[in-house]
Amino acid sequence: MGVNAPGEIADMLTMCQPEQKPIVFKFIPMPNKKVIVTGFGPFRGFEDENPSSVVIDELKAKGIENIDLELHKITVAYEDVSKRVPDLWKEHNPDLVIHLGAHNVAKTIKFEQQAFSDGYCSNDVNGCTPEGNRTTCASDEQCLKSCINCDELVRDVTQRCGLDGEKQYGGLKVEKSEDPGRYLCGYSYFLSLHEDCSKSLFIHVPPFEGECTKEAIAEVIRETVKSILGYC
């Protein structure tokens, strides 16, 4: 038997190998993040129109790119909030929940760091207070804090939106707060913090005034959502 030449051996090995098919990589897009944003209806001081509800309408009109928004308006009533907030968490399994409420501090958006379990003595729009002046969730904690760092959030949103406190949007600015009040704002926030403090935030928005318009405030809220989720 003759000795095969090196070229012949290589040809034989090639014939024994299964045909190599090119690897095809299929791009599978990541699902959009699910974000719930709520606003409140009219109440004392905002009997005709609640700015937080108007911002919900603005978000609905333009949305937020690459984010699935669930937008809801809630009655300023303890009974309604006690049911709606936990239900929203269960129904949608959100990546983030932001509650919007109104306050009277002009040209200032406040990121609330924490909320409290009791002290809810003020009547809602139905003339009611919660039993024991406490939230309805089963929590022994008197205070719950969001894991979202509001100091860092203030810095990032200020930079993203160019909020210099003077010219941009008529002097609109963002601040951190640690007192959401003992009314439906703090009440709803505590319920969400109890569900998941890593995915919850309450934001107080100011009245519309001059260049501090509903469009400007809605744009700041959009950038806030993207900042929290790490979007550019």
Q: Tens of pLDDT along 87-137?
A: 999 999 999 999 999 999 999 999 999 999 999 999 999 999 999 999 988
pLDDT band for 2, please (50, 70, 90 cuts). low
**pLDDT: which is higher, 167 or 13:** 167
40-43 long-range contacts, CB within 8 A, separation 24+: 40/73, 40/74, 40/75, 40/76, 40/100, 40/101, 40/102, 40/184, 40/185, 41/73, 41/74, 41/75, 41/76, 41/125, 42/76, 42/125, 43/76, 43/124, 43/125, 43/184
Mean pLDDT of the region 20-49: 81
Over range 59-81, report the average pLDDT. Answer: 96
Over residues 61-65, the mean pLDDT reads 95
User: pLDDT category, 14, cuts 50, 70, 90?
Assistant: low
Q: What is the pTM of this model?
A: 0.87
For the domain made up of 33-229, the CATH class stated in words is alpha beta
153 and 101 Cβ atoms separated by less than 8 Å: no
Angle at 147 between CA 143 and CA 153, to 5 degrees: 115
Q: Look up residue 98 and give its two tokens.
A: 């932001």
pLDDT band at 223 (very low <50, low <70, confident <90, very high): very high
Per-residue model confidence (pLDDT) at position 5: 54
Going 60 to 90 to 78 to 175, the CA torsion angle's sign is negative
